[in-house]
Amino acid sequence: MNLPWHQSAHKKINQMIDQNHLPHALLITGVQKIGKFEFAQALIQKLLCKESSCGKCGVCLSLTKDEPNTNIEHSVLIRRSHYPNLIYCRAELNDSGSMSKDIRVDQIRAFCDSLGKTADSLQIGIIFYADQMNVNAANGLLKTLEEPRKNTLIILLAHNARSLPQTVLSRCQTIHINPTYEKESADWLSKNIDKDSRDDFDALQLLESSHGIPHKALEDLKGDYFFHYQNWQNLLLEIAISPTKIYDTEIFDGNEIEVLKCLQQLLNEGIKIKILNHEGANLELNKVVERTSSNYLFNLQDDINSAISMSQTTVNMKLLLDNVLIVWSHISHLKKYPAITNIQEN
């Protein structure tokens, strides 16, 4: 199934196929839940099916039987598809019975050994997610990338390409899948929301709250995340309009990173409103943006990006959020943009 926000990525890969320029190693990147695996599956089906993804032939039916995303209860190095010339490599249970955080070097060796055999028809190996390879595993893949076998395609999926060594990146051709805020994606999201809930949600607003990731929007709706997100957003806007509301932030406790991301999204939307010089759908945000310097919006956006990146350190996120909120509460009438404590200090 081709997802609407994959259109530009499919266009790029189709040009490669049509011009007979398909590389021996393809790196598909994008944030988590953007559909990288679905894109790879659609590509594999297109390449292997004689009718370009008919969904009915033996190849297509074999591929539908594969469940590589499902955990299995014993340790394996690689997984073989029901189609004979396709293998998968991913983080698996280790010998002690716990899920490994890394793709190990012994797995990559088995992966490369399998692809090292001569094949008359196209053989495909897919690694997900390649940014989980440890250093030895990444190094173990290099020789196969440098000396590819004929009729062989290696597909790497990665959430964060920057985590991969440059030696791996330089040997792959990259296709990136961007977050989406397009109407076609909103229509897809609307169709996939539970029928009983469709009247309660605006699909474009759901996309904004999920940072342009439709699958995440659907996942958030299964619980109460979206309702929390709406409450966080409403209170953030109240704080910017009425600064005394900064003392009523109990609902932020324990959710500091998510609240920072919510504010980040508000700022992204506010900057768009400011740059394009037109009002958005959020009336309260329009009021804040109208009275705020563009430079201060950009400054706070940079500080929030830094704050989020510090979440992996030992910094006190509650204190850091409080300091960000103090600036946000005065954003529309600042005389000078202040240095936010904890961000500049670290």
Q: What is the pLDDT of residues 107-116, one digit of tens each?
A: 999 999 999 8
Residues sharing a CB contact under 8 Å with residue 183, sequence separation 6 or more, in sequence order: 204
Q: What is the pLDDT of residues 210-227, one digit of tens each?
A: 889 999 989 888 778 778
- Give me the residues paired with residue 27 across strands: 156, 174
Extended strands (E) in the chain: 25-29, 79-80, 86-89, 123-128, 152-158, 173-176
Domains of the chain are 4-176 (3.40.50.300), 224-333 (1.20.272)
Separation between Cα atoms, residue 330 and residue 239, nearest integer Å: 9
pTM value?
0.74
pLDDT of residue 94: 83
| Contact between 108 and 116 (Cβ < 8 Å) | no
pLDDT of residue 227: 83
pLDDT of residue 263: 94
pLDDT of residue 247: 93
Question: In the chain, which stretches have pLDDT less than 50?
Answer: 346
pLDDT of residue 171: 95
